[in-house]
Structure 1
Amino acid sequence: MRDLAPAPPAAAPLTGGLADSLFETADREPTLPMLARRPDPASATWEEVTAVEFRDEVVDLAKGLIASGISPGRRVAIMARTRYEWTVLAYALWSVGAEVVPIYPTSSRDQVEWILRDAGCVAVVVEDEQGVMTVGSVCASLPQLRHVWQLDAGALEELVARGEFIPLATVESMRRIVLPDSTAVIAYTSGTTGRALGCALSHRGLASPCDTLLAGWKETTAPPGEQGSVLAYLPFSHVYGLMIQGICVRGGMLMAHEPDLSGDSLASALRLFRPTYFYGVPSVFEKIYKNMLRTAQQAGRGSLFERAADTARDFAAAVERQRLGRGSGPGLDLRLQHALYERTVYRRLREALGGRVRRATSGGSPLTRDLSLFYEGIGIYVHDGYGLTETCGGATMQPLGREKSGTVGQALPGTEIRVAEDGEILVRGPSVFQGYVGAEAATRAALRGGWLATGDLGQLDSEGYLTITGRKKDVIITSSGKSVAPAFLEQRLRMHPLIHQAVVVGDNRPCVGALITLDPEFLAHWRAGLALQGDAREAREENALREEVARGVAAANSAVSRPESIRVFRILPEPFDVTNGLLTPSMKLRRDEIVRHYAAEIEAMYQSRARPGRLHSSEVLSAWDDSDNVFR
């Protein structure tokens, strides 16, 4: 082993199941608001649900589950968006010792069939008629499946009515026999390279990162004396969403749900609910930044925004050097500039998240240093952490008062992180999963002497800060033998306002290339700003577009060596999406499928050396000759 990060003391161990914390809170603080819900999606008001009301709903639903034959160890799938009923269902199932199997509601028929059959689910809860039809089309191959419950058809109300005769003591007795090491969730991996594997996550494993983060970081979720509040919107079908739900319930924070992930709906929910803490994946923070820039440009204040953004990054970098003991902090001129923009720009930017957020968390993939510094500079520090399904979510976090942008922080207390000789990140700790369901060989390959081989590549510095450099399986090896981790370049590309998605390619090719999709909203705004008229307007617009994207590629290349740089690229006509099979339900790139789908475009892109007329000159960023070192 090459590097080792120390493991600070851990949080107190779990003594029961995940549902226990809800019952304990209801006994201790019965009137504490725990959930917020809207009477209907169009409502501008939120109704608060107290701890005792939440518990009573869970108990009533648990009775109905018992009456329907749901017992300890039974597996029940939930195929729904992030909504109030998801949380109530999960805690009701955990109260009776059942195991939750989350399924993305956007999953294909084949994916739904695979998960229900592989997990051996006895019941599935869907949102609407479309979900019923999807499950109904595969029921013949699922002999264990006994119930299909539809939320929008009143399924929960029917379950509550069915369980009226079940005594409270029955629920209590079943809840009390749930052990910390009992399986709570079977969470399926994203399946980027093949069949999804079901990760068995215990009650202890899911609670561990939640309790550790609450013990060390809860003070950051709200101003002193205020209850923290979070708008849950990312899918509970992903372990990140489950961890946020667990933190809110276990930490007594107020949680609201927003099932609609469209930009307008999320923006409206943030303005109305006004959370004190925000969380997201890097693409969300990128999108918010681009929306801020686009709005400023449309108002004729684009230059002001860019100057304010540069000042924010410079200010945050100076503050970071000071807190890490490497500098004296922002100088007088920088402080004055920052104070001016605080009054005129930053305060308004924070309103995009409701106006009360001062801290946030990013997960799912690394956040770029530039973006992290921007948010810190406008007054919203984004904690970039690291974890995966097999670690029940978070394994690292930024230490308070010693945050370092561009890294994912240090190992959580009680967790150990090592980097192997080949650069692979290894994790050991209480949140590591129990194994893959029905896949002993895959479990043995992943768990090596108590250490989880994550498949991620990274580096640990002398202070234990972890930097993620990519995935082992994604590393590109060019025909000259140069190894390139694509994730960093892709992150840099997405920072350009026009670029929505990027996939770096180049296996067995003479150089690195990129497939690029465009942000439709920013593209429309950019085109409107060109105001081209006259003959050949469309051709001139396309030329200008290629030149602008080429500038984005050049900016990304500035951060890597010449042999690692992108030398050719192709702009694609449509985005990678779940519906076209190029993204997983958790929005991860299906790289192998993308390469197969666009094989002709990739081939044409690399044939540009032999037939230079096939590509616009701006899509070939430099000639390929010996001086470029691309063949060495």
Structure 2
Amino acid sequence: MIAREELQRGAGKPRSLVDLFEATAVRLGSRAATKQKRAGRWEETSWAELAHRARDAADGLAALGVGRGDRVAILGETTTEWIVADLGVMGAAAIVVPIYQSNKAHDCQYILENSGARFVFCDSEAQVAKIREVREKLPRLEGIIRFEGAARDGFERTLAELEQAGAAWRAGHEGAHAARLAQLSLSEPACFIYTSGTTGNPKGVVLTHGNWVYEAEAVEELRIIREDDLVLCFLPMAHSFAKVIEAVWFKVGATAAFVESIEKIVDNAAEVRPTVMPSVPRIFEKAYNAVVSKGLSTPGVKGKLFAWSLKSLEAEVDGLERGEPGRGGIGLAVARRLVFPKLEKALKDRFGGRMRLFVSGGAPLSPRIAWFFQMIGFEILEGYGLTESAAGTFVNRPGQAKIGTVGPPVPGTEVRIAEDGEILIRGPGVMKEYHQNPAATAEILRDGWLYTGDIGELTRDGCLRITDRKKDIIVTAGGKNVAPQNLENELKTEPLISQVMVHGDKRKFLSALVTLNEENVRKWAQDGGLALTGPLHEDPRVRARVQAAVDALNAKQASYSTIKRFAILPRDFTQEAGELTPTLKVKRKYCTQKYRDVLDAFYAE
């Protein structure tokens, strides 16, 4: 066993994220750190056991010669083993290089090559196969460490074997762990997180132990995640949003439950009964559309009452966004008494009955969806940050959410709005640099400020309202500026619509590519007694429904920001087809090129 005093070495001000984790492990010992479903049963790993496994993994890497400044990659789903590997790499004084599990083999190759990774952890046979495919192009890669399955040859070893080797190595190297961590300082890199690469090759964002320790301590002050919380985790650990949740979890000592898959989020929630769930907006959009689709398809008086309630809610939200509350009238009052309580109970039961709050990040959340959840009794705290700012930069506070904003800065972070509206950030969460890319670093870090590339404004109470990405702002041929995300988010509240990409830069008018939520379309048709015999995207009744949503949106816009033409694509955007990022955001540049013929046809004379 590992001596308790060795783990307590970091008591006091932590010098690294590992110090911070080990202090919590000592404090909480036998309490559950993680929950994970294996062979149909939820199993717990205690803080003490997690620390023990992480220490074994660290010493196992040290036995392989991994040391300070070396890079080790992790490719896989979010699991207890991912956390063991993560802590093991940092505990070896090395640098973690997370890779999205959805990345193709050539994407993995680029990251492994650019980072100079010596080893890569893989969570499945499928991920091992990706690395095997490009192995010959990676001369510096020394081996694969598998979470599951037997090692195939000398190039591979299992995580269990690594941990066993670490325990054996430690017997002859007493004090090595403490010596390694003593070398670390808050300025040392903890990880390289590679950006999604929507405009060229991804850049390696160098984030330090100090970045993560700061985020953990700053967010702890806000009481968003508490020691008694059970946090439902499904976000990929290659995303900075997931990493900041991990850092806060290490600090406060909550329990993290890892879902089996994105498809089983709700089923797993009902089983483990979480109190907090960090998520990207796409999950809330899907939940909203499912509720609305079901409610509108309910026959008789109940269906009509739901439709009236939804219309009243939309009127109220429109008024709230204009500073004119009360537009919901008697319909909203009836909804709050007869409809919303039933929705609240049904949704709370589906999520296990204990959900205290949701945290939304990674992309903008539609205010309409945020208001909907708030009015049926769920709190969504929207936040904002970049990979370059360690994700947790702004966030709404529990019980004080300002819908339509991402809240004020976290304690210790400064914000400034440039003359052109760009958001500038300064503080301990800002990255050190881009790995081996001084030109890009100099472009984004100037005079101590991080130039985010986002456009926004500060409200009177110090909350940040995001307008759009600076590079995504559409400037029409008439010189008018349009923020496409606002239009897209509004359209995605239509249950039949899955994804939207608004187009129109240097064009005479705006157009849009629309994809369908096939499940909702078929349910809508079935409930309405409509026979769907051909392709859904060609059905005139489906197009009429989408047109109605576009017309409703246009009615609230200035003429230059109305969508004049749209096309319904034959299938939804997917990660596999390269159209979505791992956090389910549309890759505008890629989709614009891929569907160039469709878009050009809108503007043909």
* C-alpha spacing 1:417/1:70, structure 2 compared with 1 (3 Å): same
Give the one of 150, 154, 170 matched to 2:176.
Answer: 170
Corresponding residue of 1:228: 229
CA contact (8 A) 1:317 1:373 kept: no
* Deviations 1:90-134, CA, capped at 9 Å, x for gaps: 111111211110111211222111100100000011122222221
* C-alpha spacing 1:332/1:312, structure 2 compared with 1 (3 Å): closer
Corresponding residue of 2:60: 64
| 2:126 corresponds to 1:135 | no
**One-letter code of the match for 2:141?**
L
Task: Please give the secondary structure, in 2, of the residue aligned with 1:240.
Answer: helix
Task: Please give the secondary structure, in 1, of the residue aligned with 2:231.
Answer: strand
CA contact (8 A) 1:305 1:345 kept: no
Give the Cα separation in 1 of the matches to 2:536 and 2:159: 57
The count of corresponding residues between Structure 1 and Structure 2 is 582
**One-letter code of the match for 1:505?**
H
**One-letter code of the match for 1:205?**
N
How big is the shift at 1:545? 0.8
Task: Please give the secondary structure, in 1, of the residue aligned with 2:290.
Answer: helix
**One-letter code of the match for 2:97?**
V
With 543-552 and 14-23 compared, the bigger mean Cα shift is at 14-23
How big is the shift at 1:328? 11
**What is the correspondence of 1:90-109 to structure 2 with a 5 Å cutoff?**
90-109=86-105
* C-alpha spacing 1:541/1:487, structure 2 compared with 1 (3 Å): closer
Give the Cα separation in 2 of the matches to 1:331 and 1:29: 51
| 2:258 corresponds to 1:252 | no
CA contact (8 A) 1:208 1:431 kept: yes
| 2:277 corresponds to 1:278 | yes
**One-letter code of the match for 2:118?**
V
**One-letter code of the match for 1:530?**
G
How big is the shift at 1:31? 2.1
Corresponding residue of 2:9: none
CA contact (8 A) 1:362 1:383 kept: yes
CA contact (8 A) 1:315 1:338 kept: no
Give the Cα separation in 2 of the matches to 1:156 and 1:537: 51
How big is the shift at 1:34? 1.3
How big is the shift at 1:415? 0.6
Give the Cα separation in 1 of the matches to 2:320 and 2:229: 26
How big is the shift at 1:506? 1.0
* Deviations 1:315-367, CA, capped at 9 Å, x for gaps: 9999999xx9x999999996675244454332112223222113111101121
* C-alpha spacing 1:330/1:412, structure 2 compared with 1 (3 Å): farther
* Deviations 1:159-207, CA, capped at 9 Å, x for gaps: 0122232225222321232211110010001101111000000011122
CA contact (8 A) 1:286 1:495 kept: yes
Corresponding residue of 1:468: 466
Task: Please give the secondary structure, in 1, of the residue aligned with 2:113.
Answer: helix
How big is the shift at 1:308? 4.7
**What is the correspondence of 1:465-544 to structure 2 with a 5 Å cutoff?**
465-532=463-530, 542-544=539-541
Give the Cα separation in 1 of the matches to 2:599 and 2:337: 49
Give the one of 375, 388, 391 matched to 2:389.
Answer: 391
With 265-274 and 29-38 compared, the bigger mean Cα shift is at 29-38
* Deviations 1:396-426, CA, capped at 9 Å, x for gaps: 1114454211111111111111111111111
Corresponding residue of 2:33: 34
Task: Please give the secondary structure, in 1, of the residue aligned with 2:501.
Answer: strand
Corresponding residue of 2:214: 208
With 228-237 and 153-162 compared, the bigger mean Cα shift is at 153-162
How big is the shift at 1:56? 1.1
How big is the shift at 1:387? 0.5
How big is the shift at 1:550? 0.7
**One-letter code of the match for 1:398?**
N
Q: Which runs of 5+ in 2 are unaligned?
A: 1-11, 151-157
| 2:140 corresponds to 1:151 | no
| 2:595 corresponds to 1:598 | yes
Corresponding residue of 1:76: 72
How big is the shift at 1:569? 0.5
Task: Please give the secondary structure, in 2, of the residue aligned with 1:165.
Answer: helix
With 180-189 and 167-176 compared, the bigger mean Cα shift is at 167-176
Corresponding residue of 2:356: 358
| 2:559 corresponds to 1:549 | no
How big is the shift at 1:32? 2.0
Corresponding residue of 2:43: 47
Give the one of 563, 566, 570 matched to 1:566.
Answer: 563
Corresponding residue of 1:291: 290
Give the Cα separation in 1 of the matches to 2:481 and 2:198: 21
**One-letter code of the match for 1:178?**
L
How big is the shift at 1:603? 1.8
With 512-521 and 65-74 compared, the bigger mean Cα shift is at 65-74
* Deviations 1:454-506, CA, capped at 9 Å, x for gaps: 11111112222111111111122222222212111111111111111111111
* Deviations 1:549-598, CA, capped at 9 Å, x for gaps: 01111222234211111111111111222221222333232212211111
How big is the shift at 1:217? 2.3
**One-letter code of the match for 2:177?**
V
Corresponding residue of 2:186: 180
Give the Cα separation in 2 of the matches to 1:175 and 1:57: 17
Corresponding residue of 1:630: none
TM-score, structure 2 as length reference: 0.90
How big is the shift at 1:64? 1.2
Corresponding residue of 2:8: none
* C-alpha spacing 1:259/1:157, structure 2 compared with 1 (3 Å): same
Corresponding residue of 1:413: 411
Task: Please give the secondary structure, in 1, of the residue aligned with 2:187.
Answer: coil
Corresponding residue of 1:617: none
Give the Cα separation in 1 of the matches to 2:244 and 2:550: 35
How big is the shift at 1:17? 0.9
**One-letter code of the match for 1:230?**
V
* C-alpha spacing 1:514/1:333, structure 2 compared with 1 (3 Å): closer
**What is the identity percentage for the equivalent residue pairs of Structure 1 and Structure 2?**
33
Give the Cα separation in 1 of the matches to 2:122 and 2:534: 49
CA contact (8 A) 2:536 2:570 kept: no
Give the Cα separation in 1 of the matches to 2:376 and 2:423: 33
**One-letter code of the match for 1:162?**
A
With 408-417 and 45-54 compared, the bigger mean Cα shift is at 45-54
Give the Cα separation in 2 of the matches to 1:329 and 1:402: 22
CA contact (8 A) 2:537 2:569 kept: no
* C-alpha spacing 1:329/1:543, structure 2 compared with 1 (3 Å): closer
Task: Please give the secondary structure, in 1, of the residue aligned with 2:17.
Answer: coil
| 2:578 corresponds to 1:581 | yes
Task: Please give the secondary structure, in 2, of the residue aligned with 1:425.
Answer: strand
Corresponding residue of 2:6: none
Give the one of 148, 164, 185 matched to 1:161.
Answer: 164
Corresponding residue of 1:241: 242
CA contact (8 A) 1:320 1:404 kept: no
Give the Cα separation in 2 of the matches to 1:158 and 1:113: 25
**One-letter code of the match for 1:94?**
M
With 525-534 and 53-62 compared, the bigger mean Cα shift is at 525-534
TM-score, structure 1 as length reference: 0.86
Structure with more relative contact order (C-alpha pairs < 8 Å, separation 6 or more): 1
* Deviations 1:240-278, CA, capped at 9 Å, x for gaps: 11111222221110101124122xx12211111110011
